[in-house]
Each structure stands twice: as C-alpha cells, then as structure tokens.
Structure 1
Amino acid sequence: MFSAQVRDAYVEALRDPVHIHAICEEYRAAATIDREHDVADQANGRRIECPLLALWSSEGGLETWYAREGGPLAIWRKWADSVEGSPVPGGHFFPEEHPHQTGAALSKFFEDNRGNDASNRVL
C-alpha cells in the first residue's frame, strides 16, 4: 500500500467530477479511438523515435498476458526504435507504492539518454 498522504491526494482529486470524467474519458479512448489511431499510425509507418522507458507492475499480469508477443518490451519495440524497461515491485499503483525504486529507474533512464538527439525531438 501507499502512504495516507498519497491516498488523501487521490481522494481529494476524485472529489472533483471533472477529474472523474477525465479518467473515464481516458479509459474510453483507450478502448476506442486510440486503437484506431494505432492502426493508422502503424499503417503509415509512424514510430516513436526518442528513447522509450516502459515500466510495469511486477505483481500484475502484463508479462503473462503478453507472453506470446514476447512481453511488454517486445510490444513497445513494434512502436519504438529504442526501448528499455523492466517490472517494478508493487501493484497497479507501483509509483506510489515504491517511489524510490520508480524514481531511480526514471533517473537512470534520463541520465543514460542525456544528449540523445532523438530524445530532444517532438514527433
């Protein structure tokens, strides 16, 4: 679990109906228009050119759900030229549950990719 301070921040944010609506719209888009955009992007050969870091919960099902595809990194490599990442301890809210490990992974990624020309481009 995560701290009471983090939990309180979530509760406070979710008191605002605008925030709840935005969260619902994000999930709706992921199941509808985002998929259409993904198909169009792949058909047009669009790729992510900057370095990409994928982190996911070690306690979730991503690795087993996508085992046939080669796991989460293999999926992202279909989209991006430079992909690295790994599972992070914790559940769905791993950044809140393990902020230091999540922060360390992010810091290392940004340090390793400092000055990378592709990381400075906006697509």
Structure 2
Amino acid sequence: MGKAAARSLSAEVRDAYVEALRDPVHVHAICEEYRAAATIDREHDALDQANGGRIECPLLALWSSEGGLENWYAEGGGPLGIWRKWADSVAGSPVPGGHFFPEEHPRQTAAVLSKFFEDK
C-alpha cells in the first residue's frame, strides 16, 4: 500500500490491512489470486465465453475515478463495455477515490450499492 493510500484510510482500516498482511499465508493467497487472474482465469474466461456463458443477474461495476481504467479499456468501451460482453444488464460508473475507494469513501460507495439493490 502506497503512502497516499495509507493516509486516505482510517487508522482502524489501515491497522486491519497491516495485521492481515503480517501473515505470510495471506500474502501468498493475494499473490496467487493475481497470478491466476493473469494466467488460468483468462483461459477459463475464454472457454466460458466460447461456450456461451453469460452472467444472468444484474451487474454493477464500480471503479476508481482517479485510476486509469477508463483510459486503459477505452477501445473495448471502457469497463462497462467489457462487462457487457458477459452480461445483459450492466450498470456502473467511476466513483470518487483511488484503489481503496470503498474504504476511502464508504458512505458514497454504500449509497451507490444501496441504490443498485433497491432498483433490482
């Protein structure tokens, strides 16, 4: 966690992250999740799409307004364009904050989630 992200979190949330990351098993699990996302998950996703797999429930995608996702995936229609390849009912938008936006802006994030679930 970078210094800017650490400063944006409350002491309680920051302490919880630090405590969890003291356990090498947790760190290993995080690394394995990232490894899988860059390797076997992509193969599984391609196979699932080739077989017509779709997400059937409404999907909400939220991402940091301060990150690069909007630009990185512009050719694919942005984050929503990517998810629309997988699901018929896709909503979402960038939200205030950085990588840890739910922790940085919990009330705003909760309000977006609540509205999504109330409408469904």
Quickly name the TM-score band, shorter chain normalised: over 0.9
Aligned length: 113
* TM-score normalised by structure 2 residue count: 0.92
Shift of 1:68: 1.1
SS at match of 1:54: strand
**How far is 1:69 from its partner?**
1.1
Paired residue secondary structure (2:76): coil
Distance 1:77 1:41 in 2: 15
> In structure 2, what is the equivalent of residue 86 of structure 1?
93
Aligned letter for 1:112? Answer: D
2:63 counterpart SS class:
strand
Structure 1: unaligned runs, 5 residues or longer: 114-123
Residue deviations 1:23-81 (CA, integer Å, cap 9, x gap): 01100000011000011011000000000000000000000111111111011000011
- Report the structure, 1 or 2, having the larger helix content: 2
Q: Which residue of 2 aligns with 1:67?
A: 74
Structure 2: which 5+ residue stretches go unaligned? Answer: 1-7
CA distance in 1, matches of 2:110, 2:50: 35
Partner of 2:39: 32
**Alpha-carbon distance in 2 for matches of 1:16, 1:95:** 23
Please point out which of 26, 42, 48 is paired with 2:49.
42
Alignment correspondent of 2:113: 106
Task: Calculate the TM-score normalised by the size of structure 1.
Answer: 0.90
SS of 1:85's partner is strand
What percent of counterpart residues are identical? 86
Matching residue of 2:29: 22
SS at match of 1:100: helix
RMSD over aligned Cα atoms: 0.6
> Counterpart of 1:116?
none
